Amino acid sequence: MILISGSGSNMAAIVRTAQQEDWARRHGARVAAVLSNKADAAGLAFARAEGIATEALSHKAFDSREAFDTALAQAIDRYQPSLVVLAGFMRILTPGFVARYAGRLINIHPSLLPAFTGLNTHQRAIDAGCKVAGVTVHQVTDELDVGPILDQAAVPVLPGDTAETLAARVQAQEHVIYPRAVRAFITALA
Ligand code: GAR
């Protein structure tokens, strides 16, 4: 099950890899559903076109994080997923939610953790004078962007880079390592 908030390019990379490598036949695994907290997320249209079930659940319809996360868990549990993949899902999750999916909740973060948790990672890496930047896939724990690291990829920071050019270089690596991390998880299950 994959959770998104926006374009869903990482979700699409996982879906495409699952198709190309025939995860259904080889690993008995499939993307059960794609859920977004934004009904107009472009990624939902992609998933629908691929014949994947989609759900939209707006956090704005709830008056607390706890209430949203309770509804989110109900929506997720209908699919009984082995793994919950956060792919640009831009919501901070409550401890209760994280505990419910402990060990089977993973996230992708656009920095070489433990450097640059939080937002604006690319601009902060440029401002700090970093010569390398990158992306991390990690298990989600209570502390934001701090859980055990599962996979990483590094890219150079080039002279003249802007947050946008660096983000594009990092995203190309995101699309390599996120499918790889999901594959590692599902092959360990099989
Ligand atoms: C990705 O770059 C991901 O690393 C980042 O959001 C983007 C989503 O893109 N995640 C975070 O910043 C998490 N704090 P996508 O919707 O095209 O996959």
Q: How far is ligand 1, taken at its centre, from the CA of residue 66, in Å?
A: 23
Q: Which domains does the chain have, with CATH numbers?
A: 2-189 (3.40.50.170)
Q: How far is ligand 1, taken at its centre, from the CA of residue 111, in Å?
A: 11
Active site residues: 109
Residues of the chain with pLDDT below 50 are: none
pLDDT of residue 189: 86
Q: pTM of this prediction?
A: 0.97
Known binding-site positions: 8-10, 65, 90-93, 107
pLDDT of residue 169: 98
CB 25 within 8 A of CB 107: no
Q: What is the pLDDT of residues 17-63, one digit of tens each?
A: 999 999 999 999 999 999 999 999 999 999 999 999 999 999 999 99
- Residue with CA closest to ligand 1 atom 14: 109
CA distances from 103 to 40, 43, 46, 51 (A): 30, 25, 28, 28
Can you say whether the dihedral through the CA atoms of 73, 40, 47, 155 is positive or negative?
Answer: negative
